[in-house]
Amino acid sequence: MIRVTNELLGNWTEYTLTNDNGISVSVLDFGGIITKIMIPDKTGRLENIVLGYKNYQEYRTNPNYFGAIIGRVAGRIKEASFELDGSTYNLEANNGENHLHGGPGGFHQLIWKVSPFEKETEAGLKLTIKSHDGDSGYPGNLDVTVTYTLNDQDQLIIDYLATSDQTTPLTLTNHSYFNLSGNLKNTIHDHRVTMNSSKYVELDESLIPTGKLADVEGTPFDFRSGRSLSTGLENNFEQNKIVGNGYDHYFVLEDSSEFQAIIEDANSGRKMSVITNQPGMVMYTANALEDGLELAEGISRKHHGVCFETQGSPASLHNDHLPGILLKPGEPYQKQTTFTFTVIKR
């Protein structure tokens, strides 16, 4: 039987899902934040594989968006504005002149209503909020449900469901930073990533998409046959340098019934596969993560985690050839991302 437990933390509650194999996922009602994912290594030792604060009060500001649900729109919106049906909508600028991750009052800053559930082979948390017309400058009243499910197949499934009474941009994601070494023992340089993507979206020096879909062939962005993340963290390729030596780019994903991405850490033996019905994902290698933060398992360093933000492209608001993010009334937003945890057999 999968279990759900909870702990009251002042005005917040942390819920923990635990399966029959000892894997657990802990989530706050504040921001829907995943604070811990405990996974065994090749010796069976359980360790945390996501970044989170030691002092939970740090989540009140959470400038790195550790573990949070991001919305209404994940990513940057150029000049904090967009046009829709002949009208211009001005959003809150919180990243220079741009709008980032839903703005300062985004979903990562809200307390979600949580309804736990338990079944024989899975357990989960159904999180709901209502975002009102005009919130952060967005049109439409929006009802959102995000469901975290942990099952006995060692899968964490995140389901996103939303409806709106007006056409509005919407692309939700989770902003967990993964580090499969466990308990922050190492940076992510030696993590090996395989990804079903032949195109990525080029960025300018302000980290705003230029609109160009670049071919991965012959570049550090070609993960189709698998490569170490160090390839992009330690070279002079211009697109890696622009983001602070690493990746912060949108990869267009190709359909697959098996996986869109696989992440492996040979030292720990941990392996994580990602499958989603989203059209792409941002892979972010914590290039801007500052040194010296007191995290749950130690002190932070640059490149201490990697995010796999499955989503549509916010750049589609200004470049209509990119994967779109407009939700129309009467058309439910239904997206799913599944993370499967295994141990490498060698």
Rounded Cα distance between 122 and 336, Å, is: 16
Three-class secondary structure of residue 193 per DSSP: strand
Buried b (16+ CB within 10 A) or exposed e, 197-206: bbbbbbbeee
Q: What's the confidence (pLDDT) of residue 2?
A: 61
Rounded Cα distance between 317 and 76, Å, is: 11
Using left for φ > 0, alpha for ψ between -120 and 50, and beta otherwise, residue 227 falls in beta
Q: Provide the 10 A C-beta neighbour count for residue 30.
A: 22
Which residue in 14, 47, 264, 309 is the catalytic one? 309
With CA atoms as reference, report the closest residue to 323 among 224, 253, 221, 223.
253
- Torsion sign (Cα): 28, 32, 35, 37: positive
Q: Provide the 10 A C-beta neighbour count for residue 170.
A: 25
Strands 24-28 and 294-295: what pairing? unpaired
| Contacting residues for 136 by C-beta, under 8 A, at least 6 apart | 72, 91, 92, 99, 102, 103, 104, 105, 106
326: enclosing H helix or E strand: strand 326-327
Q: What's the confidence (pLDDT) of residue 194?
A: 98
Q: How far is CA 179 from the centre of its chain?
A: 13
Query: Which domains does the chain carry?
Result: 3-343 (2.70.98.10)
- 309 counts as catalytic: yes
CA dist list (Å): 257 to 139, 204, 244: 35, 33, 34
Interval 30-41: pLDDT, tens: 999 999 999 999
Tokens of 97: 């002149």
Residue with tokens 């941009």: 169
Q: What's the confidence (pLDDT) of residue 255?
A: 84
Q: How many residues does the chain have?
A: 346
DSSP per residue over 236-263, as a string? --HHHHHTTSS-EEEEEPPP-SS-SEEE
Rounded Cα distance between 310 and 29, Å, is: 21
Rounded Cα distance between 134 and 195, Å, is: 37
Q: Are 141 and 132 in contact (CB under 8 A)?
A: yes
- 249 counts as catalytic: no
Which residue in 99, 101, 175, 304 is the catalytic one? 175
Residues of the chain with pLDDT under 50: none
Q: What's the confidence (pLDDT) of residue 346?
A: 61
